[in-house]
Amino acid sequence: MKNADNMRAILVANPKGGCGKTTLAVNLASYLANQNERVYLWDLDRQRSALEWLNLRPASFPAIRRLDQQDDTHLPKLKGDGAWMILDSAAGLHGKNLAHAVRLAHKILVPVQPSAFDMAATQDFLDGLMEEKAVRKHRTFIGVVGMRVDPRTRAATTLEQFLQQYDLPVLTYLRDTMVYVNAAFAGEGIFDLPHYVSDRDREQWGPVIEWVRE
């Protein structure tokens, strides 16, 4: 199945567990929902973290709709809807499942923690991703997000050097903060929080938002 016209699908992927996929996915969904966009969250991870987050989300908050595995067949119906689909993926995503997820996506956000272990684990994944037809043909775009990192550190520089081989930019760096952790307890993203607690983090999201919208 090809990605549906008029629906903007963003896949969040990296086979490394704990690198920040779900955090990125739910906060992007929170941003779009707060912009009155129609947002669907599709949790491809059997751990169902994104769905659990969604279950915690108060009904009074800007709506984020859920999609399930079996909803695959319903996707064409969303066509023309102008909606966003955020796909949160599982650790270890590779092979056929990866290829399938990539086919659904217009853009792929890859969170990477700039540690030696994380970069090593991301290498094979990026090698494979760059070979996907949709990526080679520039139908699907990849953006990297440095997770839990200060841009002025050696780790950040090392991440940029690592990504040069793929010609991939780091869209932004998101700092390590309990703001994300505490928000998640309540089914919230930083864009659901008052500005005085989230302004610094909202600012760091600026380039991601620009990139997903362009």
Ligand X SMILES: Nc1ncnc2c1ncn2[C@@H]1O[C@H](COP(=O)(O)OP(=O)(O)O)[C@@H](O)[C@H]1O
Region of 145 on the Ramachandran plot (φ > 0 left; ψ -120 to 50 alpha; else beta)? beta
Which residues are at the interface with ligand X (CB under 6 A)? 17-23, 49, 147-148, 174, 176-177, 180-181, 184
Q: Nearest approach, Cβ of 176 to ligand X (angstroms)?
A: 4
| Largest interatomic CA distance in the chain | 47
Q: Nearest approach, Cβ of 91 to Mg ion (angstroms)?
A: 7
Question: Quick one: 15 or 62, whose CB is closer to Mg ion?
Answer: 15
Residue 58 contacts residue 187 (beta carbons within 8 Å): yes
Q: Nearest approach, Cβ of 36 to Mg ion (angstroms)?
A: 26
Residue 21 contacts residue 88 (beta carbons within 8 Å): yes
Mask of contacts with Mg ion, 176-195, x by CB under 5 A? Answer: --------------------
Q: Give the one residue of 11, 14, 15, 21 binding Mg ion; rule: CB under 5 A.
A: 21
Query: Who contacts 66 (Cβ-Cβ below 8 Å, separation ≥6)?
Result: 40, 41, 42, 43, 51, 54
Number of residues that bind Mg ion (CB under 5 A): 3
Cα separation of 209 and 193, whole Å? Answer: 17
Cα separation of 40 and 84, whole Å? Answer: 6
Mask of contacts with Mg ion, 23-62, x by CB under 5 A? Answer: --------------------------x-------------
Q: Write out the residues near Mg ion by the rule CB under 5 A.
A: 21-22, 49
